[in-house]
C-alpha cells in the first residue's frame, strides 16, 4: 500500500457496490460548467423545436465517448451546439435548476457552478439578466427541491478567446453580484486560442476582482503542452484554485505541490479529451500520494457522460481506494471550496459529516 490508502492498481472497472457507495456519499462539486452540464434530454427537446427540424443528431453529437477522435480543441465546438439553443432567461433558469436537481440526485450537497455571462441579443437578454436568470435557477432549486437541496454558488468565467474588455466587464459583474451568490472568477476556454496573455490581460483583471470584492479565483491551467511559462506566472500570482493541470513539467509540478494551491481534477474529461493517456496514468495518483489538496470534479457532465459519483467510483477502482479514503476525499474537497462561512457552510459541513 502506498501512502494515503492508495495502491499501484491499474485501471479497473468499478463494481456496482463501489458505484452505489459513491452515489450515497455526500459530495462536493467544484468544477462544473453550466452549459457543459445541461441535461441531455433537455438539449434533445430544445433541438426538436428548432428550425433545423426534428433531427436530434446535433444534440447527440455533444457526447464524447471512448474512441471519439476529437481532440481538446475540436471538442470546444460542442459548446456552440448548446449555446445555440439554451437562450433567454427562462431556459437559463430551467437548465440551472435541472443541473442542480441532477447533482442532488447524485448525492452532491454543494456545487460551485461556473458560467460565462453572455448576451442573447435575439431574445433581448443582457449579461446582467443572464446572471440573474442563473441565480434564479439556483433559488428555484432550493425552493422546490423535494429530495434534498444541492446548495450552490456561482463562479463567473472569462473565456480565453475574448478580448480583455470582456474580462473587465465580467469582473465588474462579479463584483456587483458578490453578495448575491457569486463567489469567484474563472479563466476557461480553449487554451490553444488564448495562452500567453496572463500577465498583460488576465492577471490585472483577477487582481481587481480579488482586491475590490474578495472574490476567489480559479484558473484552467496547463490544459495543453507548452504552458509552463504561464503556469509559473499564475503560481507566482497565487490563485485560490487551479483546474486540470494536466501538462506540468516536473519543476512546475513541484512548485505547485509546494504552493499547496488546491486543484480540481476531472478524470474522465482529461482521458476522453486525450489530455491524459488513461485513468491509471492520471496525475490524480501523484497528487493523492502527495496529500495535495484536491477535489474530484466532472467538468462537463453532458459531454463526458460521467456524473460525480461515477468519477469517484473510477478513482476508487483505479487507485485502489477504500470507502474511508473516498469519504475523506469528499470531505477534503469541501475544504478547498469557495463557500463563505455561515449558515449554508454549516449545513453542508453537517451533511458531509453525517454517518452514511
- For ligand 6MZ, which is the closer residue by CB, 21 or 240? 240
- For ligand 6MZ, which is the closer residue by CB, 131 or 326? 131
CB–CB of 124/80 below 8 Å?
Answer: no
Question: 226's torsion region: left (phi>0), alpha (psi -120 to 50) or beta?
Answer: left
Among 6, 42, 96, 115, binds ligand 6MZ (CB under 6 A): 115
* 223: nearest Cα among 75, 57, 334, 69: 75
Alpha helices in 69-149 (DSSP H): 72-75, 77-85, 89-105, 127-144
- For ligand 6MZ, which is the closer residue by CB, 33 or 351? 33
Q: What's the CA gap between 130 and 56, in Å, rounded?
A: 26
Among 25, 300, 306, 338, binds ligand 6MZ (CB under 6 A): 300
CB–CB of 107/27 below 8 Å?
Answer: yes
Contact residues for 284 (Cβ-Cβ < 8 A; gap 6+): 265, 267, 294, 296, 315, 319
Tell me the catalytic residues. Answer: 223
Please, what is the minimum distance in Å from the beta carbon of residue 159 to ligand 6MZ? 5
Among 29, 101, 159, 311, binds ligand 6MZ (CB under 6 A): 159
Among 93, 170, 273, 318, binds ligand 6MZ (CB under 6 A): 273
Please, what is the minimum distance in Å from the beta carbon of residue 223 to ligand 6MZ? 6
Among 27, 30, 33, 153, binds ligand 6MZ (CB under 6 A): 33
- For ligand 6MZ, which is the closer residue by CB, 86 or 315? 86
Which among 5-13, 33-41, 284-292, 338-346 is the span making contact with ligand 6MZ, rule CB under 6 A?
33-41
Task: Please give the size of the binding site for ligand 6MZ, defined by CB under 6 A.
Answer: 17
Residue 203 CB coordination number (10 Å): 18
Is the torsion defined by CA of 259, 335, 326, 149 positive or negative?
Answer: negative
Among 30, 94, 216, 220, binds ligand 6MZ (CB under 6 A): 220
CB–CB of 167/201 below 8 Å?
Answer: yes
Please, what is the minimum distance in Å from the beta carbon of residue 82 to ligand 6MZ? 7
CB–CB of 219/242 below 8 Å?
Answer: yes
Q: Phi and psi of 12, rounded to 5°?
A: -120, 140
Largest CA distance in the chain: 58
The interface with ligand 6MZ within residues 55-84 (CB under 6 A) comprises 79
- For ligand 6MZ, which is the closer residue by CB, 136 or 273? 273
Residue 325 CB coordination number (10 Å): 16
Among 188, 263, 321, 330, binds ligand 6MZ (CB under 6 A): 188
Interaction of residue 157 with ligand 6MZ, rule CB under 6 A: yes
Among 93, 116, 317, 318, binds ligand 6MZ (CB under 6 A): 116
End-to-end CA distance of the chain: 26
- For ligand 6MZ, which is the closer residue by CB, 157 or 241? 157
Interaction of residue 21 with ligand 6MZ, rule CB under 6 A: no
Residues that bind ligand 6MZ in the complex, under the rule CB under 6 A: 33-36, 79, 115-116, 157, 159, 188-189, 220, 223, 269, 273, 299-300
Amino acid at each position: 500500500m502506498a501512502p494515503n490508502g492508495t495502491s499501484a492498481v491499474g485501471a479497473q472497472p468499478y463494481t456496482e457496490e463501489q458505484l452505489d457507495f459513491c452515489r450515497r456519499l455526500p459530495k462536493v462539486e467544484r468544477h462544473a460548467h453550466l452549459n457543459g452540464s445541461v441535461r441531455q434530454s433537455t438539449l434533445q427537446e430544445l433541438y426538436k423545436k428548432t428550425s433545423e427540424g426534428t433531427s436530434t443528431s446535433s444534440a447527440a453529437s455533444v457526447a464524447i465517448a471512448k474512441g471519439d477522435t476529437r481532440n481538446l480543441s475540436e471538442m470546444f465546438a460542442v459548446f456552440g451546439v448548446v449555446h445555440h439553443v439554451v437562450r433567454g432567461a427562462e431556459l437559463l433558469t430551467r437548465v440551472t435548476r435541472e443541473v442542480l436537481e441532477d447533482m442532488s440526485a447524485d448525492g452532491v450537497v454543494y456545487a460551485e457552478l461556473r458560467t460565462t455571462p453572455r448576451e442573447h441579443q435575439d431574445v433581448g437578454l443582457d449579461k446582467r439578466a443572464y446572471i440573474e436568470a442563473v441565480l434564479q435557477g439556483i433559488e428555484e432549486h432550493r425552493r422546490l427541491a423535494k429530495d434534498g437541496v444541492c446548495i450552490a454558488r456561482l463562479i463567473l468565467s472569462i473565456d480565453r478567446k475574448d478580448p480583455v474588455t470582456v474580462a473587465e466587464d465580467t469582473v465588474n459583474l462579479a463584483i456587483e453580484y458578490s453578495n448575491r451568490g457569486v463567489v469567484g472568477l474563472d479563466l476557461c476556454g480553449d487554451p490553444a486560442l488564448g495562452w500567453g496573455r496572463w500577465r498583460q490581460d488576465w492577471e490585472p483583471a483577477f487582481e481587481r476582482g480579488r482586491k475590490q470584492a474578495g472574490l476567489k479565483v480559479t484558473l484552467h491551467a496547463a490544459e495543453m503542452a507548452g504552458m509552463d511559462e504561464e503556469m509559473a506566472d499564475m503560481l507566482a500570482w497565487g490563485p485560490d484554485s487551479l483546474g486540470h493541470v494536466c501538462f506540468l513539467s516536473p519543476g512546475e509540478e513541484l512548485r505547485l505541490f509546494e504552493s499547496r494551491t488546491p486543484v480540481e481534477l476531472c478524470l474522465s474529461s482529461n482521458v476522453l479529451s486525450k489530455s491524459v493517456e488513461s485513468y491509471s496514468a492520471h496525475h490524480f495518483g501523484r497528487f493523492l500520494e502527495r496529500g495535495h489538496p484536491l477535489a474530484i470534479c466532472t467538468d462537463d457532465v453532458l459531454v463526458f457522460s460521467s456524473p460525480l459519483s461515477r468519477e469517484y467510483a473510477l478513482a476508487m477502482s483505479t487507485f485502489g481506494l477504500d470507502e474511508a479514503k473516498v469519504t475523506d476525499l469528499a470531505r477534503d474537497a469541501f475544504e478547498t471550496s469557495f463557500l463563505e462561512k455561515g449558515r449554508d457552510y454549516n449545513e453542508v459541513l453537517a451533511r458531509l459529516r453525517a454517518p452514511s
